[in-house]
Chains A and B, each alone.
Chain A
Amino acid sequence: MRSAKFDALLSRYYTIIIFLIPALTIFTLFVVLPIGEAAYYSFFRWNGYGAPEKFVGLKNYEFLFKNRVFIMSLKNNFYIIAISLFVQLPFALLIALMISDKLRGAAFFRTVFFLPFILAEIVTALIWAYIYDGNYGLVAAIWGFFGAEAPFILGDKDWALLAILIVIFWKFFGIHMMIYIAGLQAISKEVLEAAKVDGAGPITTAFRIKIPMLIPTIKLSVFLSLLGSLQLFDIIMPLTGGGPSNVTHSMVSYLYYFGVMRMKVGFGSAVGVVIFLICLFIAIGYQRTLMRDDNENKF
Protein backbone atom coordinates (compact mmCIF):
# COMPACT_ATOMS: atom_id res chain seq x y z
CA MET A 1 0.00 0.00 0.00
CA ARG A 2 1.38 3.38 -0.94
CA SER A 3 1.24 5.93 1.78
CA ALA A 4 1.04 9.68 1.27
CA LYS A 5 4.48 9.93 2.80
CA PHE A 6 5.92 7.56 0.25
CA ASP A 7 4.36 9.61 -2.54
CA ALA A 8 5.89 12.77 -1.14
CA LEU A 9 9.28 11.09 -0.98
CA LEU A 10 8.92 9.83 -4.50
CA SER A 11 7.96 13.26 -5.77
CA ARG A 12 10.96 14.72 -3.95
CA TYR A 13 13.44 12.44 -5.68
CA TYR A 14 11.62 12.90 -8.94
CA THR A 15 12.01 16.68 -8.54
CA ILE A 16 15.67 16.46 -7.59
CA ILE A 17 16.42 14.37 -10.65
CA ILE A 18 14.41 16.44 -13.12
CA PHE A 19 15.73 19.75 -11.77
CA LEU A 20 19.35 18.73 -11.57
CA ILE A 21 19.81 16.73 -14.73
CA PRO A 22 20.12 19.50 -17.32
CA ALA A 23 22.73 21.52 -15.43
CA LEU A 24 24.58 18.46 -14.22
CA THR A 25 24.79 16.91 -17.68
CA ILE A 26 25.96 20.03 -19.47
CA PHE A 27 28.39 20.92 -16.71
CA THR A 28 29.90 17.44 -16.62
CA LEU A 29 30.15 17.04 -20.38
CA PHE A 30 31.51 20.48 -21.20
CA VAL A 31 33.45 21.53 -18.11
CA VAL A 32 34.55 18.59 -15.98
CA LEU A 33 35.27 15.94 -18.59
CA PRO A 34 37.27 18.23 -20.90
CA ILE A 35 39.54 19.14 -18.00
CA GLY A 36 40.16 15.44 -17.36
CA GLU A 37 40.66 14.78 -21.06
CA ALA A 38 43.20 17.58 -21.30
CA ALA A 39 45.29 15.79 -18.69
CA TYR A 40 45.06 12.55 -20.68
CA TYR A 41 45.74 14.06 -24.12
CA SER A 42 48.74 15.96 -22.81
CA PHE A 43 50.71 12.69 -22.84
CA PHE A 44 50.19 12.25 -26.58
CA ARG A 45 51.27 13.80 -29.81
CA TRP A 46 47.95 14.14 -31.56
CA ASN A 47 46.28 16.36 -34.15
CA GLY A 48 42.75 15.60 -32.97
CA TYR A 49 41.79 13.12 -35.68
CA GLY A 50 41.31 9.44 -35.02
CA ALA A 51 42.27 8.18 -31.60
CA PRO A 52 45.34 9.48 -29.78
CA GLU A 53 47.94 6.76 -30.35
CA LYS A 54 51.36 8.30 -30.26
CA PHE A 55 52.14 8.22 -26.56
CA VAL A 56 55.02 10.55 -25.76
CA GLY A 57 54.98 10.54 -21.97
CA LEU A 58 56.11 13.84 -20.52
CA LYS A 59 57.73 15.06 -23.76
CA ASN A 60 55.14 17.81 -24.24
CA TYR A 61 55.85 19.18 -20.79
CA GLU A 62 59.58 18.85 -21.29
CA PHE A 63 59.40 20.83 -24.49
CA LEU A 64 57.15 23.39 -22.84
CA PHE A 65 59.51 24.19 -20.01
CA LYS A 66 62.46 24.44 -22.36
CA ASN A 67 60.57 26.78 -24.64
CA ARG A 68 61.69 30.39 -24.33
CA VAL A 69 58.35 31.81 -25.46
CA PHE A 70 56.36 29.79 -22.95
CA ILE A 71 58.67 30.73 -20.08
CA MET A 72 58.24 34.34 -21.15
CA SER A 73 54.44 33.98 -21.16
CA LEU A 74 54.60 32.43 -17.69
CA LYS A 75 56.66 35.38 -16.49
CA ASN A 76 54.28 37.84 -18.11
CA ASN A 77 51.35 36.25 -16.30
CA PHE A 78 53.19 36.63 -13.02
CA TYR A 79 53.98 40.29 -13.75
CA ILE A 80 50.32 40.84 -14.48
CA ILE A 81 49.34 39.17 -11.21
CA ALA A 82 51.94 41.12 -9.25
CA ILE A 83 50.88 44.48 -10.69
CA SER A 84 47.21 43.65 -10.16
CA LEU A 85 47.66 42.61 -6.56
CA PHE A 86 50.22 45.12 -5.38
CA VAL A 87 49.41 48.20 -7.42
CA GLN A 88 45.92 47.95 -8.87
CA LEU A 89 44.06 46.64 -5.82
CA PRO A 90 45.60 49.08 -3.29
CA PHE A 91 44.90 51.90 -5.73
CA ALA A 92 41.28 50.77 -6.16
CA LEU A 93 40.95 50.59 -2.38
CA LEU A 94 42.35 54.10 -2.01
CA ILE A 95 39.89 55.48 -4.54
CA ALA A 96 37.03 53.57 -2.93
CA LEU A 97 37.89 55.11 0.45
CA MET A 98 38.13 58.53 -1.16
CA ILE A 99 34.72 58.48 -2.77
CA SER A 100 32.69 56.35 -0.39
CA ASP A 101 32.24 59.19 2.08
CA LYS A 102 29.77 61.98 1.72
CA LEU A 103 31.84 63.46 -1.08
CA ARG A 104 29.93 65.64 -3.52
CA GLY A 105 29.90 64.07 -6.95
CA ALA A 106 30.77 60.62 -5.60
CA ALA A 107 28.15 58.98 -7.81
CA PHE A 108 29.61 60.66 -10.88
CA PHE A 109 33.16 59.49 -10.17
CA ARG A 110 31.98 56.01 -9.31
CA THR A 111 30.20 55.68 -12.64
CA VAL A 112 33.10 57.12 -14.64
CA PHE A 113 35.69 54.87 -13.01
CA PHE A 114 33.51 51.83 -13.55
CA LEU A 115 32.87 52.67 -17.20
CA PRO A 116 35.90 50.88 -18.72
CA PHE A 117 34.86 47.63 -17.09
CA ILE A 118 31.67 47.41 -19.11
CA LEU A 119 33.45 47.71 -22.45
CA ALA A 120 34.33 44.51 -24.25
CA GLU A 121 38.01 43.69 -23.76
CA ILE A 122 38.48 43.64 -27.51
CA VAL A 123 37.08 47.16 -27.78
CA THR A 124 39.20 48.40 -24.90
CA ALA A 125 42.31 47.00 -26.50
CA LEU A 126 41.45 48.50 -29.91
CA ILE A 127 40.94 51.92 -28.35
CA TRP A 128 44.35 51.67 -26.73
CA ALA A 129 45.97 50.30 -29.85
CA TYR A 130 44.86 53.58 -31.40
CA ILE A 131 46.06 55.69 -28.44
CA TYR A 132 49.49 54.03 -28.62
CA ASP A 133 49.77 54.37 -32.41
CA GLY A 134 52.94 56.31 -33.19
CA ASN A 135 51.50 57.90 -36.33
CA TYR A 136 47.92 58.78 -35.53
CA GLY A 137 47.30 58.15 -31.85
CA LEU A 138 47.28 60.27 -28.75
CA VAL A 139 50.86 59.27 -28.01
CA ALA A 140 51.84 60.67 -31.40
CA ALA A 141 50.04 63.92 -30.61
CA ILE A 142 51.71 64.28 -27.22
CA TRP A 143 55.18 63.60 -28.58
CA GLY A 144 54.43 65.84 -31.55
CA PHE A 145 53.50 68.63 -29.17
CA PHE A 146 57.02 68.52 -27.79
CA GLY A 147 58.39 68.33 -31.30
CA ALA A 148 59.63 64.77 -30.90
CA GLU A 149 59.28 61.72 -33.08
CA ALA A 150 56.70 59.44 -31.42
CA PRO A 151 57.76 55.91 -30.52
CA PHE A 152 55.80 52.82 -31.52
CA ILE A 153 55.28 51.60 -28.00
CA LEU A 154 53.56 48.35 -28.93
CA GLY A 155 56.31 47.45 -31.36
CA ASP A 156 59.03 47.99 -28.79
CA LYS A 157 60.15 44.88 -26.92
CA ASP A 158 60.99 46.86 -23.78
CA TRP A 159 57.76 48.81 -23.57
CA ALA A 160 55.04 46.58 -25.02
CA LEU A 161 54.33 44.68 -21.81
CA LEU A 162 54.14 47.88 -19.78
CA ALA A 163 51.69 49.25 -22.34
CA ILE A 164 49.51 46.16 -21.85
CA LEU A 165 49.71 46.48 -18.08
CA ILE A 166 48.48 50.07 -18.31
CA VAL A 167 45.46 48.94 -20.31
CA ILE A 168 44.69 46.20 -17.76
CA PHE A 169 44.94 48.74 -14.98
CA TRP A 170 42.71 51.18 -16.84
CA LYS A 171 40.05 48.59 -17.53
CA PHE A 172 39.89 46.69 -14.26
CA PHE A 173 40.56 49.00 -11.34
CA GLY A 174 36.95 50.20 -11.52
CA ILE A 175 35.41 46.82 -10.77
CA HIS A 176 37.63 46.36 -7.74
CA MET A 177 36.77 49.87 -6.58
CA MET A 178 33.10 48.99 -6.96
CA ILE A 179 33.53 45.77 -4.95
CA TYR A 180 35.25 47.74 -2.17
CA ILE A 181 32.58 50.42 -2.16
CA ALA A 182 29.93 47.73 -1.79
CA GLY A 183 31.92 46.30 1.11
CA LEU A 184 32.35 49.71 2.72
CA GLN A 185 28.64 50.38 2.52
CA ALA A 186 28.01 47.22 4.51
CA ILE A 187 30.02 48.52 7.47
CA SER A 188 27.57 49.58 10.15
CA LYS A 189 27.13 53.30 10.68
CA GLU A 190 27.27 52.93 14.48
CA VAL A 191 30.84 51.67 14.42
CA LEU A 192 31.93 54.63 12.33
CA GLU A 193 29.99 57.04 14.53
CA ALA A 194 31.62 55.58 17.62
CA ALA A 195 35.06 56.03 16.07
CA LYS A 196 34.24 59.63 15.27
CA VAL A 197 33.11 60.29 18.82
CA ASP A 198 36.38 58.81 20.03
CA GLY A 199 38.18 61.37 17.91
CA ALA A 200 39.47 59.14 15.11
CA GLY A 201 40.32 61.03 11.91
CA PRO A 202 39.63 59.71 8.40
CA ILE A 203 43.03 58.05 8.09
CA THR A 204 42.85 56.31 11.46
CA THR A 205 39.30 55.21 10.68
CA ALA A 206 40.44 53.81 7.34
CA PHE A 207 43.31 51.79 8.75
CA ARG A 208 41.84 50.76 12.07
CA ILE A 209 38.22 50.12 11.14
CA LYS A 210 37.37 50.18 7.45
CA ILE A 211 40.21 48.12 6.02
CA PRO A 212 40.10 45.42 8.74
CA MET A 213 36.35 45.11 8.25
CA LEU A 214 36.85 44.92 4.53
CA ILE A 215 39.09 41.85 4.66
CA PRO A 216 36.46 39.39 3.31
CA THR A 217 35.80 41.79 0.44
CA ILE A 218 39.49 42.15 -0.28
CA LYS A 219 39.82 38.37 -0.37
CA LEU A 220 37.11 38.22 -3.00
CA SER A 221 38.76 40.85 -5.16
CA VAL A 222 42.16 39.18 -4.81
CA PHE A 223 40.63 35.93 -5.97
CA LEU A 224 38.85 37.52 -8.95
CA SER A 225 42.00 39.36 -9.86
CA LEU A 226 44.13 36.20 -9.78
CA LEU A 227 41.73 34.23 -11.94
CA GLY A 228 41.26 37.13 -14.35
CA SER A 229 45.00 37.59 -14.74
CA LEU A 230 45.50 33.93 -15.57
CA GLN A 231 42.82 34.06 -18.29
CA LEU A 232 44.13 37.13 -20.03
CA PHE A 233 43.76 36.82 -23.79
CA ASP A 234 41.32 39.28 -25.37
CA ILE A 235 43.32 42.36 -24.38
CA ILE A 236 46.56 41.03 -25.79
CA MET A 237 45.27 40.08 -29.23
CA PRO A 238 44.42 43.53 -30.64
CA LEU A 239 47.33 45.24 -28.90
CA THR A 240 50.32 43.07 -29.75
CA GLY A 241 49.05 39.60 -30.66
CA GLY A 242 51.88 38.33 -28.48
CA GLY A 243 54.53 40.27 -30.40
CA PRO A 244 57.02 41.80 -30.94
CA SER A 245 59.18 38.66 -31.16
CA ASN A 246 56.69 36.78 -28.96
CA VAL A 247 57.61 38.69 -25.80
CA THR A 248 54.10 39.70 -24.71
CA HIS A 249 52.25 36.39 -24.77
CA SER A 250 50.09 35.35 -21.86
CA MET A 251 49.76 31.64 -21.24
CA VAL A 252 46.36 31.63 -22.93
CA SER A 253 47.55 33.50 -26.01
CA TYR A 254 50.51 31.11 -26.16
CA LEU A 255 48.05 28.22 -26.00
CA TYR A 256 46.04 29.78 -28.79
CA TYR A 257 48.97 30.42 -31.15
CA PHE A 258 51.00 27.29 -30.53
CA GLY A 259 48.33 24.77 -29.59
CA VAL A 260 44.99 25.68 -31.12
CA MET A 261 46.05 27.29 -34.39
CA ARG A 262 48.39 24.41 -35.20
CA MET A 263 45.88 21.86 -33.93
CA LYS A 264 48.48 20.32 -31.65
CA VAL A 265 45.98 18.81 -29.26
CA GLY A 266 48.51 17.05 -27.04
CA PHE A 267 50.85 19.98 -26.71
CA GLY A 268 48.05 22.53 -26.28
CA SER A 269 46.47 20.33 -23.62
CA ALA A 270 49.78 20.31 -21.76
CA VAL A 271 49.67 24.12 -21.68
CA GLY A 272 46.09 23.90 -20.43
CA VAL A 273 47.12 21.49 -17.70
CA VAL A 274 49.84 23.89 -16.53
CA ILE A 275 47.28 26.71 -16.29
CA PHE A 276 44.94 24.30 -14.50
CA LEU A 277 47.61 23.35 -11.95
CA ILE A 278 48.39 27.00 -11.23
CA CYS A 279 44.67 27.65 -10.69
CA LEU A 280 44.42 24.59 -8.46
CA PHE A 281 47.41 25.76 -6.46
CA ILE A 282 45.81 29.17 -6.01
CA ALA A 283 42.41 27.67 -5.17
CA ILE A 284 43.89 25.40 -2.51
CA GLY A 285 45.95 28.23 -1.06
CA TYR A 286 42.85 30.38 -1.11
CA GLN A 287 40.79 27.76 0.74
CA ARG A 288 43.53 27.19 3.29
CA THR A 289 44.55 30.69 4.19
CA LEU A 290 42.03 33.15 2.91
CA MET A 291 38.71 31.41 3.27
CA ARG A 292 39.35 29.77 6.61
CA ASP A 293 37.19 32.08 8.67
CA ASP A 294 34.51 32.71 6.08
CA ASN A 295 31.09 31.21 6.21
CA GLU A 296 30.00 28.74 3.59
CA ASN A 297 27.74 31.15 1.77
CA LYS A 298 30.55 32.89 -0.01
CA PHE A 299 32.87 31.46 -2.53
Chain B
Amino acid sequence: MKTNFRTYYLYLILFFLAGVIIIPLYVSVMGGFKHTGELRTNSLGLPIDWKFENYTSLLTNSDFWLFLWNSTVYAVGTTFFVVLFASMTAFVFAHVKFAANKFLYNYFLLGLMFPFATAILPLFLRVRDFGLLGTSWAVIIPQIAFGLGFSIILFRGFFRQMPKEIFEAAVCDGCSYTQFYFRFTLPLSTPILATVSVITLTGSWNNYLLPLIMINDESLYSWPMGIMVFRGEYFTDWGKILAYVSLTLVPAVVFFFTLQKYIVAGLTGGAVKE
Protein backbone atom coordinates (compact mmCIF):
# COMPACT_ATOMS: atom_id res chain seq x y z
CA MET B 1 0.00 0.00 0.00
CA LYS B 2 2.76 2.35 1.01
CA THR B 3 4.59 1.73 -2.28
CA ASN B 4 1.52 2.64 -4.31
CA PHE B 5 1.16 5.84 -2.38
CA ARG B 6 4.76 6.77 -3.08
CA THR B 7 4.49 5.92 -6.77
CA TYR B 8 1.41 8.09 -6.99
CA TYR B 9 3.28 11.14 -5.72
CA LEU B 10 6.26 10.32 -7.87
CA TYR B 11 4.12 10.39 -11.01
CA LEU B 12 2.36 13.54 -9.84
CA ILE B 13 5.70 15.35 -9.60
CA LEU B 14 6.99 13.96 -12.89
CA PHE B 15 3.85 14.83 -14.84
CA PHE B 16 3.77 18.30 -13.36
CA LEU B 17 7.38 18.83 -14.39
CA ALA B 18 6.70 17.43 -17.87
CA GLY B 19 3.89 19.97 -18.15
CA VAL B 20 6.22 22.80 -17.20
CA ILE B 21 8.54 21.70 -20.00
CA ILE B 22 5.97 21.00 -22.69
CA ILE B 23 3.46 23.82 -22.21
CA PRO B 24 5.82 26.65 -23.22
CA LEU B 25 6.79 24.70 -26.34
CA TYR B 26 3.18 23.92 -27.15
CA VAL B 27 1.93 27.50 -26.73
CA SER B 28 4.77 28.73 -28.94
CA VAL B 29 4.00 26.41 -31.83
CA MET B 30 0.27 27.12 -31.53
CA GLY B 31 0.88 30.83 -31.03
CA GLY B 32 2.29 30.99 -34.54
CA PHE B 33 -1.16 30.08 -35.88
CA LYS B 34 -3.01 32.76 -33.94
CA HIS B 35 -4.02 36.34 -34.67
CA THR B 36 -2.63 38.93 -32.33
CA GLY B 37 -6.07 39.44 -30.83
CA GLU B 38 -6.49 35.75 -30.21
CA LEU B 39 -3.11 35.52 -28.51
CA ARG B 40 -4.47 37.93 -25.97
CA THR B 41 -7.70 36.07 -25.27
CA ASN B 42 -6.79 32.48 -25.94
CA SER B 43 -3.17 31.72 -25.15
CA LEU B 44 -3.55 28.13 -23.95
CA GLY B 45 -6.15 26.61 -26.27
CA LEU B 46 -5.90 25.48 -29.85
CA PRO B 47 -6.32 28.31 -32.35
CA ILE B 48 -9.99 29.00 -33.00
CA ASP B 49 -9.28 30.62 -36.32
CA TRP B 50 -6.18 28.97 -37.80
CA LYS B 51 -3.96 31.54 -39.41
CA PHE B 52 -1.32 30.03 -41.66
CA GLU B 53 -0.02 33.29 -42.97
CA ASN B 54 2.71 33.68 -40.32
CA TYR B 55 4.23 30.42 -41.43
CA THR B 56 3.70 30.77 -45.17
CA SER B 57 5.09 34.30 -45.27
CA LEU B 58 8.27 33.01 -43.61
CA LEU B 59 8.57 29.98 -45.85
CA THR B 60 8.40 32.23 -48.91
CA ASN B 61 10.81 34.75 -47.40
CA SER B 62 14.16 34.50 -49.17
CA ASP B 63 16.06 35.94 -46.18
CA PHE B 64 14.76 33.15 -43.97
CA TRP B 65 16.24 30.54 -46.31
CA LEU B 66 19.42 32.53 -46.81
CA PHE B 67 20.08 32.62 -43.05
CA LEU B 68 19.39 28.91 -42.74
CA TRP B 69 21.77 28.30 -45.62
CA ASN B 70 24.51 30.43 -44.04
CA SER B 71 24.15 28.55 -40.77
CA THR B 72 24.38 25.29 -42.68
CA VAL B 73 27.62 26.41 -44.31
CA TYR B 74 29.08 27.42 -40.92
CA ALA B 75 27.98 24.17 -39.28
CA VAL B 76 29.14 21.82 -42.04
CA GLY B 77 32.42 23.66 -42.59
CA THR B 78 33.21 23.70 -38.88
CA THR B 79 32.28 20.07 -38.39
CA PHE B 80 34.31 18.81 -41.32
CA PHE B 81 37.52 20.43 -40.11
CA VAL B 82 36.97 19.72 -36.43
CA VAL B 83 36.44 16.03 -37.14
CA LEU B 84 39.46 15.85 -39.44
CA PHE B 85 41.94 17.84 -37.34
CA ALA B 86 40.79 16.61 -33.94
CA SER B 87 40.85 12.95 -34.98
CA MET B 88 44.31 13.31 -36.50
CA THR B 89 45.61 14.96 -33.36
CA ALA B 90 43.94 12.47 -31.06
CA PHE B 91 45.34 9.63 -33.17
CA VAL B 92 48.87 10.84 -32.50
CA PHE B 93 48.13 11.27 -28.79
CA ALA B 94 46.63 7.80 -28.56
CA HIS B 95 49.08 5.77 -30.64
CA VAL B 96 52.40 7.53 -31.11
CA LYS B 97 54.84 7.70 -28.23
CA PHE B 98 56.93 10.86 -28.16
CA ALA B 99 58.35 13.13 -25.51
CA ALA B 100 55.88 16.01 -25.72
CA ASN B 101 52.78 13.84 -26.03
CA LYS B 102 51.33 14.46 -22.60
CA PHE B 103 52.36 18.11 -22.63
CA LEU B 104 50.66 18.85 -25.94
CA TYR B 105 47.53 17.00 -24.88
CA ASN B 106 47.27 19.16 -21.77
CA TYR B 107 47.91 22.22 -23.92
CA PHE B 108 44.71 21.47 -25.83
CA LEU B 109 42.81 20.69 -22.63
CA LEU B 110 43.70 24.08 -21.28
CA GLY B 111 41.63 25.63 -24.03
CA LEU B 112 38.56 23.93 -22.63
CA MET B 113 38.72 25.84 -19.40
CA PHE B 114 38.31 29.26 -20.95
CA PRO B 115 35.21 30.54 -22.69
CA PHE B 116 35.98 32.30 -25.94
CA ALA B 117 34.35 35.44 -24.59
CA THR B 118 37.54 36.11 -22.63
CA ALA B 119 39.47 36.84 -25.78
CA ILE B 120 36.73 37.93 -28.09
CA LEU B 121 38.18 41.32 -29.03
CA PRO B 122 41.70 40.06 -29.85
CA LEU B 123 40.02 37.20 -31.72
CA PHE B 124 38.05 39.69 -33.76
CA LEU B 125 41.21 41.67 -34.53
CA ARG B 126 43.05 38.52 -35.58
CA VAL B 127 40.23 37.55 -37.93
CA ARG B 128 40.17 41.09 -39.29
CA ASP B 129 43.95 41.27 -39.76
CA PHE B 130 43.91 37.95 -41.61
CA GLY B 131 41.41 39.52 -44.00
CA LEU B 132 38.70 37.00 -43.18
CA LEU B 133 35.95 39.48 -42.31
CA GLY B 134 33.11 39.36 -44.80
CA THR B 135 33.68 35.67 -45.49
CA SER B 136 32.29 32.51 -43.92
CA TRP B 137 35.76 31.72 -42.59
CA ALA B 138 35.37 34.49 -40.03
CA VAL B 139 32.92 32.22 -38.23
CA ILE B 140 34.22 28.81 -39.23
CA ILE B 141 37.88 29.14 -38.22
CA PRO B 142 37.31 30.41 -34.66
CA GLN B 143 34.65 27.72 -34.21
CA ILE B 144 37.12 25.06 -35.32
CA ALA B 145 39.71 26.43 -32.90
CA PHE B 146 37.32 26.36 -29.95
CA GLY B 147 35.82 23.01 -30.92
CA LEU B 148 39.12 21.13 -31.00
CA GLY B 149 39.68 20.61 -27.27
CA PHE B 150 36.58 18.66 -26.39
CA SER B 151 36.65 16.68 -29.64
CA ILE B 152 40.26 15.64 -29.07
CA ILE B 153 39.29 14.29 -25.64
CA LEU B 154 36.44 12.27 -27.08
CA PHE B 155 38.51 10.89 -29.97
CA ARG B 156 41.52 10.07 -27.82
CA GLY B 157 39.39 8.20 -25.30
CA PHE B 158 37.87 6.13 -28.09
CA PHE B 159 41.12 5.44 -29.95
CA ARG B 160 42.82 4.26 -26.78
CA GLN B 161 40.12 1.68 -26.23
CA MET B 162 40.61 0.15 -29.64
CA PRO B 163 42.38 -3.24 -29.39
CA LYS B 164 46.15 -2.81 -29.57
CA GLU B 165 46.48 -6.02 -31.61
CA ILE B 166 45.14 -4.43 -34.78
CA PHE B 167 47.69 -1.69 -34.53
CA GLU B 168 50.60 -4.04 -33.89
CA ALA B 169 49.58 -6.39 -36.66
CA ALA B 170 49.24 -3.53 -39.12
CA VAL B 171 52.61 -2.04 -38.21
CA CYS B 172 54.26 -5.47 -38.63
CA ASP B 173 52.75 -5.69 -42.08
CA GLY B 174 54.59 -2.50 -42.96
CA CYS B 175 51.65 -0.20 -42.58
CA SER B 176 52.63 3.41 -41.89
CA TYR B 177 50.87 5.57 -39.33
CA THR B 178 49.13 7.50 -42.04
CA GLN B 179 47.88 4.37 -43.76
CA PHE B 180 46.78 2.95 -40.44
CA TYR B 181 44.84 6.10 -39.62
CA PHE B 182 42.95 6.09 -42.91
CA ARG B 183 42.52 2.32 -43.35
CA PHE B 184 41.77 1.19 -39.80
CA THR B 185 41.24 3.96 -37.28
CA LEU B 186 38.69 6.02 -39.17
CA PRO B 187 36.55 3.16 -40.52
CA LEU B 188 36.45 1.56 -37.06
CA SER B 189 35.43 4.80 -35.35
CA THR B 190 32.00 5.52 -36.76
CA PRO B 191 30.28 5.89 -33.35
CA ILE B 192 32.72 8.52 -32.13
CA LEU B 193 32.80 10.25 -35.51
CA ALA B 194 29.02 10.51 -35.32
CA THR B 195 29.10 11.80 -31.77
CA VAL B 196 31.70 14.49 -32.43
CA SER B 197 29.95 15.51 -35.65
CA VAL B 198 26.57 15.82 -34.02
CA ILE B 199 27.92 17.85 -31.10
CA THR B 200 29.92 20.17 -33.34
CA LEU B 201 27.02 20.59 -35.75
CA THR B 202 24.54 21.57 -33.05
CA GLY B 203 27.06 23.80 -31.29
CA SER B 204 27.72 25.70 -34.47
CA TRP B 205 24.08 25.75 -35.56
CA ASN B 206 22.99 27.35 -32.30
CA ASN B 207 25.95 29.70 -31.87
CA TYR B 208 24.90 33.31 -31.55
CA LEU B 209 27.70 35.34 -29.98
CA LEU B 210 30.49 34.46 -32.39
CA PRO B 211 28.64 35.26 -35.65
CA LEU B 212 27.25 38.36 -33.96
CA ILE B 213 30.79 39.64 -33.42
CA MET B 214 32.27 38.49 -36.71
CA ILE B 215 29.52 39.16 -39.22
CA ASN B 216 28.48 42.62 -40.32
CA ASP B 217 27.18 41.83 -43.76
CA GLU B 218 23.48 40.89 -43.63
CA SER B 219 23.90 38.40 -46.48
CA LEU B 220 26.10 36.32 -44.16
CA TYR B 221 23.83 36.38 -41.09
CA SER B 222 23.25 33.10 -39.28
CA TRP B 223 19.69 32.18 -38.39
CA PRO B 224 19.96 33.13 -34.70
CA MET B 225 21.02 36.60 -35.87
CA GLY B 226 18.16 36.59 -38.35
CA ILE B 227 15.62 35.71 -35.70
CA MET B 228 16.85 38.55 -33.49
CA VAL B 229 16.57 41.03 -36.35
CA PHE B 230 13.08 39.71 -37.02
CA ARG B 231 12.22 40.19 -33.35
CA GLY B 232 13.40 43.78 -33.61
CA GLU B 233 11.16 44.38 -36.61
CA TYR B 234 7.97 42.79 -35.28
CA PHE B 235 8.43 43.60 -31.64
CA THR B 236 4.99 42.75 -30.26
CA ASP B 237 3.66 40.84 -33.23
CA TRP B 238 4.19 37.60 -31.35
CA GLY B 239 2.36 35.45 -33.91
CA LYS B 240 5.09 36.16 -36.47
CA ILE B 241 7.93 35.70 -34.01
CA LEU B 242 6.49 32.47 -32.64
CA ALA B 243 6.11 31.13 -36.16
CA TYR B 244 9.81 31.81 -36.75
CA VAL B 245 10.67 30.18 -33.42
CA SER B 246 8.56 27.11 -34.26
CA LEU B 247 10.09 26.71 -37.70
CA THR B 248 13.54 26.43 -36.15
CA LEU B 249 12.32 24.41 -33.18
CA VAL B 250 10.71 21.60 -35.14
CA PRO B 251 13.83 20.60 -37.13
CA ALA B 252 15.88 20.69 -33.90
CA VAL B 253 13.44 18.32 -32.21
CA VAL B 254 13.37 15.96 -35.20
CA PHE B 255 17.16 16.04 -35.42
CA PHE B 256 17.38 15.23 -31.73
CA PHE B 257 15.01 12.28 -31.88
CA THR B 258 16.87 10.74 -34.80
CA LEU B 259 20.32 11.18 -33.32
CA GLN B 260 19.52 11.10 -29.60
CA LYS B 261 21.90 8.21 -29.01
CA TYR B 262 24.95 10.11 -30.26
CA ILE B 263 24.07 13.38 -28.62
CA VAL B 264 23.65 11.83 -25.20
CA ALA B 265 26.74 9.67 -25.65
CA GLY B 266 28.82 12.72 -26.44
CA LEU B 267 27.49 14.91 -23.68
CA THR B 268 27.82 12.28 -21.01
CA GLY B 269 30.87 10.59 -22.53
CA GLY B 270 33.24 12.04 -20.00
CA ALA B 271 30.97 11.00 -17.15
CA VAL B 272 30.29 7.36 -17.80
CA LYS B 273 33.86 6.28 -18.32
CA GLU B 274 35.56 5.31 -15.11
Contacts from A to B (Cβ < 8 Å):
11-13, 15-16, 18-20, 22-24, 26-27, 29-35, 37-38, 41, 48, 95, 98-99, 103, 105, 108-109, 111-116, 118-123, 126-128, 130-131, 133, 135-138, 140-141, 170, 174-175, 178-179, 181-183, 185-186, 216-217, 220-221, 227, 230-231, 233-234, 237-238, 251-252, 255-256, 259-260, 265, 268-269, 272-273, 275-276, 279-280, 282-283, 297-299
Does more than half of chain A's interface fall in helix, strand or loop, or is it mixed?
Answer: helix
- B228 near A35 with CB under 8 A, answer no
Which chain A residues border B208 with CB–CB below 8 Å? Answer: 120-122, 233-234, 237
- A118 near B270 with CB under 8 A, answer no
Q: Which of A220, A260, A265 has the most CB of B within 10 A?
A: A260
- B121 near A182 with CB under 8 A, answer no
Q: How many residues of B contact A (CB 8 A)?
A: 99
B90-125 interface code vs A (CB 8 A; 1 in, 0 out): 011000101000001001111111111111111111
Residue of A nearest to B128 (CB): A48
Which chain A residues border B224 with CB–CB below 8 Å? Answer: 120, 122-123, 234
- A234 near B209 with CB under 8 A, answer yes
- A276 near B236 with CB under 8 A, answer no
User: What separation, in Å, do the CA atoms of A22 and B144 have in the docked complex?
Assistant: 11
How far does the Cβ of A84 sit from chain B's closest Cβ, in whole Å?
A: 15
Question: For the complex, is B249 an interface residue (Cβ under 8 Å from A)?
Answer: yes
Q: Residue B122 contacts which of A27, A133, A269 (CB distance < 8 angstroms)?
A: A269
How far does the Cβ of A280 sit from chain B's closest Cβ, in whole Å?
A: 7
How far does the Cβ of A174 sit from chain B's closest Cβ, in whole Å?
A: 8
Which chain A residues border B86 with CB–CB below 8 Å? Answer: 23
Chain B residues numbered 133-148 whose CB sits less than 8 Å from any CB in chain A: 141-142, 144-146, 148
Residue of A nearest to B95 (CB): A15
- B24 near A131 with CB under 8 A, answer yes
- A136 near B121 with CB under 8 A, answer no
User: What separation, in Å, do the CA atoms of A252 and B107 have in the docked complex?
Assistant: 25
Which chain A residues border B120 with CB–CB below 8 Å? Answer: 255, 260, 268, 272
- B89 near A238 with CB under 8 A, answer no
